[in-house]
Structure 1
Amino acid sequence: MADDTVTPGARGMFGDFAPALVEYTDDLLFGQVWERAELSRRDRSLITVAALLAGGNTEQLTFHLAYAKQNGLTETELIEAITHLAFYAGWPKAMSAMAVAKQVFASAD
């Protein structure tokens, strides 16, 4: 089953509106995919942050940057990853992601 820090967000946003999406998020994505032993949760977080940045999905970055820290990535590592991705995913996407990171990290302090 998904981590308790994950389920309230999806359930709170969409539980009554889209219960199947919440179930898939909790049971399949976070319950099965994220728990596969072939990659660590830390590595999965880094990959997810990179994919979200590359796709311009900054709204999802708010959760996943905080989750990446829970999974062992440091703020310094995440900032470096965003900086590195500027050259591969695009400068505007990296700048938008960095703005989200700055906000997420400031609220965590």
Structure 2
Amino acid sequence: MATQSTAARQRFGDFAPKLVELTDGVLFDDVWERDELSPRDRSLVTITALAALYRTDQIEFHLRKGLDNGLTKDELVEAITHLAFYAGWPAAMTAMNTLKTIVERAEDDIG
């Protein structure tokens, strides 16, 4: 199990330690580290699933992770636009709004 202070550990460490153990140890230390998909591809799959399922609590973290894993703003914009026709307009608009906020904050930090 991961020993560093993860987001899950910070949020739920004392409240739900088993959930933190599974999140850190199984999801991020095992599933996310498998060689069959690159971190970039895993991010794209995760982001589209979260957007399609309207999982607004998780999308910001994974959009940031996707950018860190090599996805570009333009690729994410295109994926979310494409998704609108399959997952619904409100889900895509919410994901796009979150991405726009992340990109604008990053630009503000740079400039």
| TM-score normalised by L of structure 1 | 0.91
Return the offset for 1:108. 2.5
Alignment partner, residue 98 of structure 2: 100
Partner of residue 45 from structure 1, selected from 39, 43, 46: 43
Alignment partner, residue 26 of structure 1: 24
**CA distance, structure 2, for counterparts of residue 19 and residue 104 of structure 1:** 30
**CA distance, structure 1, for counterparts of residue 105 and residue 55 of structure 2:** 20
**CA distance, structure 2, for counterparts of residue 73 and residue 102 of structure 1:** 14
State the superposition RMSD in angstroms: 1.4
Return the offset for 1:79. 0.9
Equivalent pairs counted in the alignment come to 106
- Indicate the percent of aligned positions where both proteins have the same amino acid: 59
The DSSP-based 3-state class of the residue aligned with 1:51 is helix
Matches within 5 A, 1:1-109: 8-109=6-107
Runs in 1 of length 4+ with deviation above 4 angstroms? none
Return the offset for 1:71. 0.7
| TM-score normalised by L of structure 2 | 0.89
**CA distance, structure 1, for counterparts of residue 71 and residue 40 of structure 2:** 6
| Deviation digits for residues 27-80 of structure 1 (CA, Å, limit 9, x no counterpart) | 100000011111111000000001001100022011000000111101111111
Rg larger in structure: 2
Q: Which ranges of structure 1 fall in alignment gaps of 5 or more residues?
A: none
**CA distance, structure 2, for counterparts of residue 58 and residue 80 of structure 1:** 19
The DSSP-based 3-state class of the residue aligned with 1:17 is coil
